[in-house]
Structure 1
Amino acid sequence: MKVQKFVEIIGADFYTGVPDSQLKALCNYLMNRYGIDPKHHIIAANEGNCTALAAGYHLATGRVPVVYMQNSGEGNVINPVASLLNDKVYAIPVIFIIGWRGEPGIHDEPQHLYQGEVTMKLLEDMDIATFIIGKETADDEVVQAMDAFQKVLESGKDVAFVIRKGALTDAPEVEYKNESYMIREEIIQHIVKASGEDPIVSTTGKASRELFETRVANGHSHKYDLLTVGSMGHSSSIALGVAISKPEQRIWCIDGDGAVLMHMGSMAVMGANKPKNLIHVVINNGAHETVGGMPTVAGNIDLVAIAKACGYPNAVCADCFEALDKELEAAKERNELSMIEVKCSIGARENLGRPTTTALENKQNFMAYLKTL
């Protein structure tokens, strides 16, 4: 169905969420109509953040907010749904719009398969009434579903529209760009050159895909890298776990701004533990680029200052390749935790591939390599 019609049927005037490729039509529509506007549309750090923000909106206005997200974010909303929104607690009504990645019977990437299997079960367990929208769903069916949802919402319970692949259409084109010129894939090539045979833990999305293809282009083994294909925001914690267990081996983490924001508390834990053998590289394009380019707030905050405040003994920003190479070499020479923020443009190759090894093979090869160090 047309995304504008879908929004009209819902009838809400406040949206908050974490962008999803399956919901790109909705995200582009909201960005085209509102941009980032505190009164109508906020892209938050994670799905639990969105849910609490929506609760505050309801408390202040009495109106029903909308939270949009990929189904991988259900895990982040379980706590606020169960202990904040639930009708046995504050009875706060919210409309969830959830992109259904990994839907059974639909080909998808491995990190989405189990999440896709349990998507509807998790919503049922959270006592959230659901309606599935697919390519063939008629407008009047959604109208009827929304009419039924109104009674549920009035009782202080929550509802969800679960969106199948390609179900929402006719979104306006939105151009996402920034002032940076450094291309992420080239940044990763420089990191790979500097890291040599050191292990790398890379973040969710295109960064890991580009790391994989860089290894292919260089004729390198993939054993050096753990590609965090799911679990957005947790790569630095994985890297910390590896680093404290291999204190004599230098470990690298290639992170992204959206991932850092999603679970920023990990930086405080990193700074408190100060692993001397870990180099944390945050590639910051101020965007959720992997799912379409929608903005994060990282373009307007000082990640270097945050890292220093969290206890990182070394934190710098590089906005050109000369500075990047200098800081990579300096970090290698130190025996201290280092963070390098790298300013990056938005965009990737049209023909960017995906890893040809399975996640399990990746884990086994990485673990086998770590045993040799």
Structure 2
Amino acid sequence: MINVEDFEKYLNKNGVEFFTGVPDSQLSSFCDYIEDKYGIGDKHIIAVNEGNAVALASGYYLSTGKYPLVYLQNSGLGNIVNPVTSLTHPKVYSIPMIFLVGWRGEPGIKDEPQHIKQGEITLDLLELLDIEYKVITKNTSLEDIKTTFKNDFLPKLENGNSVSFVVSKGAFENFKTEKSNSNSLTREIAIQTVVDNLNNDDMIISTTGKTSRELFEYREEKNQGHGNDFLTVGSMGHSSILALGVAINNPNKKVFCFDGDGAVLMHMGALATIGSKKQHNLYHILFNNSAHESVGGLPTIMDDINIIDVANDCGYNKSFNASNLKELKEILPKFINEEGPVLLNIKTNIKSRKDLGRPTTTPIENKNDFMEKLSK
């Protein structure tokens, strides 16, 4: 296994002094170390999506001539295809950078269904993008990395090509920092409170990560079935627009989007589309802990944004805040009885159960149950 401090120090000796990206659980040790060493500032910026990270890294290179590092889960490769092929590629501006990619869904290693296809094509995608890569596994040594970087990667970077380290599960030694905020309400209790205020005809589109897992477990606990819920276990940032598509075509049902702050930020333009559409039956709930909690807890920039003003300016009919359980219980009836689109911003802490399970139904089963419920 690789010690992340030693890894970063070696990169630093080779002029790598700027880091940006979107956190990933497989890279959590590295991301935690970078935050611990650099904080969030001019040398380390957590981007809202991976494409933005590439553009930001490009600006850094153009300004300094030094190689930036962009970290991301392999699911984020989709978000970098456009800037890599139309901005940084040697056939365009030839802007070199180092990618650090967490390899979820690696063939032969058990993972969640949303990672399987992406895992199968990760190396193929890098090859298609002309990004040379080295896979880091549990058996890779720092000397192996140094040899690859010196002999293979540096000549590529000097010629304007990007390179990538692809990180397998367990390749990095553990490095963890504690993360918390001052909010009293857990997301799980907030989800349960909202669900208890809905009726049997209300539909839910829930975002990726622990939000969908907590919703699934509460339905199991209540023996309610899962037909009312579409668990968007992948495709981060797209749940709200998916919910809009459902709401438009089912105007007699209330459609609730259970969203996260990292997901909202990743594709924030969705708020403008939702606001402009004025869909009366769409209810957007943001479980907001200002953190990428499902992949390690590094901060988002949501605390720097007045999301209520943003939603209202985008055309939402009304927006609400709830900072604790008492406020949530008071606001929910008003929120549910408003005409959509409306936003409810619920401030939650960075806590979840260690024994939190995962959905036991397959995505296809979830889709079929959801569509059957919609048709009734």
TM-score scaled by length of structure 2 = 0.97
Partner of 1:233: 237
Residues 76-95 of structure 1 aligned to structure 2 (within 5 Å): 76-95=79-98
1:116 aligns with 2:119: yes
Within 5 A, what are the aligned runs for 1:263-282?
263-282=267-286
Contact 2:317 2:339 in 1 (8 A): no
Structure 1 counterpart of 2:50, from 32, 39, 47: 47
Runs of 5+ in structure 1 lacking a partner?
Answer: none
Give the one of 306, 329, 338 matched to 2:342: 338
Corresponding pairs, count: 370
Return 5+ residue gaps in structure 2 as ranges: none
State the alpha-carbon separation in 2 of the partners of residues 318 and 233 from structure 1: 22
The letter for the 2-side match of 1:94 is M
1:59 is displaced (CA, Å) by 0.6
Corresponding residue of 1:214: 218
Asked if residue 5 in structure 1 is aligned to residue 9 in structure 2, the reply is no
**How far does residue 341 in structure 1 lie from its aligned partner after superposition?**
0.3
C-alpha separation between the residues in 2 aligned to 1:313 and 1:183? 27
What is the alpha-carbon distance in structure 2 between the residues aligned to residue 60 and residue 296 of structure 1? 25
Matches within 5 A, 1:1-373: 1-11=2-12, 12-38=16-42, 40-147=43-150, 148-171=152-175, 173-197=176-200, 198-372=202-376
Cα deviation for residue 10 of structure 1 reads 2.1
| Native 8 Å contact 1:233 1:261 kept in 2 | yes
Q: 1:278 to 1:170 in 2, by over 3 A?
A: closer
CA shift for structure 1 position 170: 4.1
SS of structure 1 residue aligned to 2:258: strand
Query: 1:129-188: CA deviations, max 9, x gaps?
Result: 1000001012111001111201100111100000000101142x3111111010000000
Residue 341 of structure 1 aligns to a residue whose secondary structure is strand
SS in 2 for 1:175: coil
SS in 2 for 1:25: helix
Give the TM-score taking structure 1 as reference length: 0.98
> Aligned partner of 2:367: which letter?
K
For residues 77-96 of structure 1, what are the alpha-carbon distances to aligned partners after superposition, in whole Å with 9 as ceiling and x for unaligned? 00000000011111000100
Matched residue type, 2:6: K
Give the drift of 1:258: 0.3
Provide, for residues 20-78 of structure 1, a one-character-per-residue CA deviation record: whole Å limited to 9, x for no partner: 0000110110011011022x101010000100000000011110000000000000000
Which segment drifts farther, 318-327 or 270-279?
Answer: 318-327
**Partners of 1:278 and 1:326 in 2: CA distance:** 20
Structure 2 counterpart of 1:8, which letter? K
Cα distance, 1:275 vs. partner? 0.6
- In structure 2, give the amino acid aligned to 1:136: N
* 1:327, distance to aligned residue in structure 2 (A): 2.3
RMSD between aligned residues: 0.8
